[in-house]
C-alpha cells in the first residue's frame, strides 16, 4: 500500500487524506503460508493467521492497530487498509473495467 | 459417504474443510503419519531461525478437527486396493472409502552420493526433522549447506543465526544463476556475508564422510580435498511421496498424474498438492508445482470435485515472496530466459522455486528488461511488446502489488514502455505516474 499512500497524498484530496488515519489490517490469502508469525507477535493475542489464511480483514475489536503483524509477515500477506484505499481502488477497478470494455 | 484423505498438509486439510462445507453429514477421515495437527511447512524455516516456537506453526488446533467433524487418524498408509476401495495401513489396519484423496506431499531429496545416512545430514522438510536439526545446531561447530534454491538459503540463514559457522557451497560462481542477474546475486551475497556466512564458489561435494560412530566428520569435494564439518544441510530439491500407490493401477510419472479435476485414472481416487502432477491446459502437460498456495488451491479444487461439484483447477500466475537475510524478495510472472537455448526454440522461462516446481510457461515472444537499483532496493521488469510479463523486486516492496496487477490483468503499458526500458532511478517514479494516470480524477468522495 506504499504506492497508494503516496498517490493519495499526491492527489491532495483532503477527504482522502483524513481517511488514511483510520483503517484495518487486510490479508492477501494467496501469499499466506500459515506460519503464524503474525499472531505470535500480536500484543493482544489475536489469531491473525485465521483471518489471513481466509483472506479476511482482521475484524477483531481488541485490535490496537499497532501494525506488528504487518511488519513481521515474511511474505507480505498483510497490509494496512484505510477507507481511502477502498475508495481509490474502487475507482481504479471502474476505470480498468472501462478500459477492458473499450469505452 | 465416507471420504478418506491420506495426508494432513495444506492440500489434505484444505480439501477436508471444502468437503465438509458441501457435505454436512459424510464421514471425513484424515490419515496422517505425523503426530500433530496440520502445520505450516514453510514455517519450518522460521522455527529454525527462531522467529517462532514449533507449536506456533500449527495452523490448526485439534479442536478445529472436532469442530469441523473431521476424524484425524494417526497411521501410515501403505497401499491401496482400488477394487475393494480400501487403504491398507502399515500396522495392519485398513480403511474402506467411497472417495479417496491422496495428499501425501513430498520430502527432501537425499544427496545422490555416499554418506546420506550419516548422523548430521539434515533437511528442512518436516517438523520432526527441523527439531532434530535445531538440537544438532546447538552442539555443531561447522556446517556445510548444499543446494541452489530458497530452502538451501533458509537453512544457511537459520544455521548461521544459531551460531554455527556456516559454509554455503555454490557449484558455479553466482547465486541462483537461473533467476538473479549479477547485481541481484551480489546484493544477496553481500547480505549473506554480513550474516557471517562463508560462500564457496565453484565448490561441489561428492561424498559425505563419517567417523566410526557414524557421525558426519567432513565432506569430500570434487577436487579430492576434505572439508571438515559436523553438519551437512541438504536442500537439492524434493521428491513426491508416492510409495502408497506403488502396487496399484494408479498412474504416475514423477508424481501421481491427475486431470484438471484432480482425478487419477482410477474412479473415485484423487490426488492434490506436492504428490500430484496436475494437467495444465496451457502447456498441455502434467506439471509439478511444489508451492504452499498451490497445494491449498489444489486441495480446495479436489474437495469440490469429490463432493460432485465439477471444478477445473487452473494454475495461477507464478508468484513467490520470501524473506532471506533481511531482504524481501518477490518474483512474479516470468524472469529469465534459459540462455543456453537455441534462438529458434521457444524460450523456457525459469522461476524461483522450492526445488522441483515447473511453473513456467513456454513463451515464444521476444522480451526486454528494465532495471532500477538504489541502495539495497532493486526492481527488474520483463516486458514483452506492450505488456509487463514478469518482475523481480528486492528490498522495498511498495510497487509489488501494482506490478502484480499489471501482469495478471495484462494491462497495456505501451505509453511508458520506452521510458521504463531506459531503467534507472526514473523507473520507480514512472511506474507511480502511470498508476496515478490510470486512476480517474476525483469527482466527490
Whether B204 has a pLDDT exceeding 80, the answer reads yes
Cβ contact B435–A96 (<8 Å): no
CB < 8 Å to B396, chain A: 2
Partners of residue B101 on adjacent β-strands: B5, B270
Q: What is the mean pLDDT of residues B143-162?
A: 95
Beta strands across the sheet bearing B327-333? B319-324, B327-333, B387-394, B377-384, B368-374
Cβ contact A34–B43 (<8 Å): yes
The whole-number pLDDT of residue B343 equals 34
**Confidence band for B336, pLDDT divided at 50, 70 and 90:** low
* Separation between Cα atoms, residue B96 and residue B3, nearest integer Å: 9
Phi, psi torsion values for B444, nearest 5 degrees: -145, 155
Q: Is domain A15-101 classified as CATH 1.10.3470?
A: no
Compare all CA atoms of chain A with the CA of B403 and give the residue at the minimum distance: A3
Would you tell me which CATH number, out of the four given (1.10.238.10, 3.50.50.60, 3.40.50.720, 1.10.3720.10), belongs to the domain B2-107+238-306?
A: 3.50.50.60
Total residues found in chain B within this entry: 445
Over B199-264, what HEC string results? EECCCCEEEEEECCCCEEEEEEECCCCEEECCEEEECCCEEECCHHHCCCCCCECCCEEECCCCEC
Q: Does B14 touch chain A (CB under 8 A)?
A: no
CB A52 within 8 A of CB A32: yes
- Segment among A84-98, B61-75, B396-410 with least mean pLDDT: A84-98
Q: Domain B121-234: which topology? A: FAD/NAD(P)-binding domain (3.50.50)
Write the pLDDT tens digit of every residue in A10-34.
Answer: 666 666 666 656 788 999 998 999 9
Question: Which residues touch B92 (CB under 8 Å, ≥6 apart)?
Answer: none
Whether B294 has a pLDDT exceeding 70, the answer reads yes
- Rounded to the nearest angstrom, the minimum Cα separation between B441 and chain A is 9
CB B126 within 8 A of CB B32: no
Residue B16: closest CA among B5, B2, B32: B5
Q: What is the mean pLDDT of residues B357-382?
A: 69
The whole-number pLDDT of residue B401 equals 87
Which triple of cell numbers denotes residue B387? 505488456
Q: What is the mean pLDDT of residues B147-172?
A: 95
**Confidence band for B435, pLDDT divided at 50, 70 and 90:** confident
* Separation between Cα atoms, residue A39 and residue B405, nearest integer Å: 28
The whole-number pLDDT of residue B357 equals 38
* Separation between Cα atoms, residue B363 and residue B8, nearest integer Å: 36
Q: Does B40 touch chain A (CB under 8 A)?
A: yes
DSSP tag of B86: E
The whole-number pLDDT of residue B318 equals 80
Whether A103 has a pLDDT exceeding 60, the answer reads no
**CA-angle at B320, arms to B319 and B323, nearest 5°:** 155
Cβ contact A35–B398 (<8 Å): no
CB < 8 Å to B438, chain A: 92, 95-96, 99
Phi, psi torsion values for B96, nearest 5 degrees: -90, 155
Cα distances from B291 to residues B18, B98, B140, B355, in angstroms, run 19, 29, 31, 10
**Confidence band for B59, pLDDT divided at 50, 70 and 90:** very high
The whole-number pLDDT of residue A81 equals 85
Interface predicted TM-score (ipTM) of this complex, two decimals:
0.85
Residue B233: closest CA among B129, B319, B313: B129
Q: Does B199 touch chain A (CB under 8 A)?
A: no
Q: CATH second-level architecture of B319-438?
A: 2-Layer Sandwich (3.30)
Specify the higher pLDDT residue, B38 or B357: B38
Quote the mean pLDDT of chain B.
Answer: 89
Cβ contact A11–B321 (<8 Å): no
* Separation between Cα atoms, residue B106 and residue B272, nearest integer Å: 11
Which triple of cell numbers denotes residue B432? 507511480
Q: What is the mean pLDDT of residues A74-93?
A: 82
Write the pLDDT tens digit of every residue in B372-381.
Answer: 888 899 998 8
User: What pTM, to 2 d.p., does this model score?
Assistant: 0.88
The whole-number pLDDT of residue B129 equals 96
The whole-number pLDDT of residue B210 equals 97
Domain boundaries, chain A: 15-101
The whole-number pLDDT of residue A58 equals 93
Specify the higher pLDDT residue, B315 or B33: B33
Write the pLDDT tens digit of every residue in B79-133.
Answer: 999 999 999 999 999 999 999 999 999 999 999 999 999 999 999 999 999 999 9
Q: What is the mean pLDDT of residues B137-150?
A: 94
Nearest CB to A37 within list B46, B432, B438: B46
Q: Does B443 touch chain A (CB under 8 A)?
A: no
Which triple of cell numbers denotes residue A101? 470494455
Which triple of cell numbers denotes residue B173? 560462481
- Only one residue has cell 482410477, namely B266
Whether B440 has a pLDDT exceeding 70, the answer reads no
Nearest CB to A7 within list B40, B53, B436: B436
Q: Which residues of A touch B (CB under 8 A)?
A: 1-3, 6-7, 10-11, 13, 15-16, 19, 30-37, 39-40, 49, 53, 72, 74-76, 79, 87-88, 91-92, 94-96, 99
* Separation between Cα atoms, residue A29 and residue B430, nearest integer Å: 29
The whole-number pLDDT of residue B375 equals 87
Task: Let me know if the fold of B2-107+238-306 is the same as that of B319-438.
Answer: no
Residue to test with chain B: of A17, A35, A71, A88, most B Cβ within 10 A: A35
**Confidence band for A99, pLDDT divided at 50, 70 and 90:** low
The whole-number pLDDT of residue B387 equals 87
Whether A9 has a pLDDT exceeding 80, the answer reads no
Residue A28: closest CA among A63, A76, A69: A76
Q: What is the mean pLDDT of residues B35-64?
A: 96
CB < 8 Å to A3, chain B: 398-399, 401-402, 432, 435
Domain boundaries, chain B: 2-107+238-306, 121-234, 319-438
Amino acid at each position: 500500500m506504499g504506492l497508494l499512500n503516496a498517490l493519495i497524498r499526491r492527489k491532495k484530496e483532503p477527504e482522502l487524506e483524513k481517511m488514511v488515519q483510520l483503517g484495518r489490517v487486510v490479508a492477501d490469502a494467496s501469499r499466506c503460508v500459515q506460519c503464524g508469525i503474525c499472531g505470535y507477535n500480536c500484543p493482544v493475542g489475536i489469531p491473525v493467521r485465521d483471518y489471513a489464511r481466509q483472506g479476511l480483514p482482521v475484524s477483531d475489536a481488541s485490535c490496537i492497530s499497532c501494525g506488528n503483524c504487518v511488519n513481521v509477515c515474511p511474505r507480505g500477506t498483510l497490509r494496512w487498509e484505510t477507507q481511502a484505499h477502498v475508495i481509490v481502488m474502487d475507482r481504479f477497478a471502474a476505470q480498468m473495467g472501462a478500459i477492458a470494455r473499450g469505452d | 459417504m465416507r471420504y478418506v484423505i491420506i495426508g494432513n498438509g495444506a492440500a489434505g486439510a484444505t480439501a477436508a474443510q471444502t468437503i465438509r462445507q458441501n457435505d454436512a453429514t459424510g464421514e471425513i477421515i484424515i490419515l496422517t503419519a505425523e503426530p500433530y495437527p496440520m502445520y505450516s511447512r514453510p514455517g519450518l524455516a522460521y522455527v529454525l531461525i527462531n522467529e517462532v516456537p514449533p507449536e506456533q506453526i500449527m495452523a490448526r488446533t485439534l479442536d478445529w478437527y472436532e469442530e469441523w467433524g473431521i476424524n484425524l487418524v494417526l497411521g501410515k498408509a501403505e497401499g491401496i486396493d482400488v477394487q475393494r476401495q480400501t487403504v491398507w495401513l502399515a500396522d495392519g489396519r485398513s480403511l474402506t472409502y467411497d472417495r479417496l484423496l491422496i495428499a501425501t506431499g513430498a520430502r527432501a531429496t537425499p544427496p545422490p552420493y555416499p554418506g546420506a545416512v550419516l548422523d548430521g545430514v539434515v533437511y528442512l522438510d518436516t517438523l520432526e526433522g527441523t527439531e532434530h536439526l535445531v538440537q544438532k545446531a546447538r552442539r555443531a561447530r561447522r556446517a556445510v549447506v548444499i543446494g541452489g534454491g530458497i530452502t538451501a538459503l533458509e537453512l544457511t540463514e537459520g544455521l548461521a543465526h544459531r551460531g554455527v559457522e556456516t559454509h554455503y557451497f555454490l557449484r558455479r560462481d553466482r547465486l541462483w544463476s537461473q533467476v538473479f542477474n549479477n547485481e541481484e546475486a551480489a546484493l544477496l551475497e553481500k547480505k549473506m556475508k554480513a550474516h557471517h556466512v562463508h560462500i564457496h564458489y565453484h565448490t561441489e561435494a561428492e561424498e559425505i564422510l563419517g567417523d566410526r560412530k557414524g557421525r558426519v566428520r567432513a565432506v569430500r569435494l570434487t577436487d579430492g580435498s576434505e572439508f571438515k564439518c559436523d553438519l551437512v544441510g541438504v536442500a537439492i530439491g524434493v521428491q513426491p511421496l508416492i510409495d502408497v500407490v506403488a502396487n496399484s493401477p494408479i498412474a504416475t510419472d514423477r508424481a501421481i498424474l491427475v486431470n484438471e479435476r484432480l482425478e487419477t485414472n482410477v474412479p473415485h481416487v484423487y490426488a492434490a498438492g506436492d504428490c500430484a502432477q496436475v494437467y495444465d491446459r496451457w502447456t498441455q502437460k502434467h506439471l509439478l508445482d511444489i508451492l504452499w498456495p498451490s497445494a491449498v488451491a489444489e486441495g480446495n479444487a479436489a474437495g469440490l470435485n469429490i463432493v460432485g461439484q465439477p471444478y477445473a483447477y487452473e494454475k495461477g500466475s507464478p508468484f513467490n515472496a520470501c524473506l532471506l537475510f533481511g531482504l524481501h524478495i518477490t518474483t512474479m510472472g516470468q524472469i529469465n530466459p534459459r540462455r543456453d537455448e537455441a534462438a529458434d526454440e521457444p524460450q523456457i522461462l525459469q522461476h524461483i522455486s522450492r526445488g522441483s516446481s515447473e511453473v513456467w510457461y513456454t513463451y515464444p515472444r521476444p522480451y526486454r528488461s528494465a532495471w532500477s537499483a538504489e541502495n539495497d532496493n532493486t526492481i527488474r521488469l520483463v516486458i514483452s511488446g506492450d505488456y509487463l510479463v514478469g518482475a523481480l523486486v528486492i528490498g522495498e516492496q511498495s510497487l509489488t502489488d501494482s506490478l502484480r496487477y499489471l501482469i495478471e490483468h495484462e494491462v497495456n503499458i505501451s505509453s511508458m514502455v520506452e521510458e521504463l526500458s531506459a531503467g534507472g532511478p526514473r523507473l520507480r517514479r514512472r511506474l507511480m505516474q502511470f498508476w496515478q494516470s490510470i486512476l480517474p480524477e476525483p469527482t466527490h468522495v
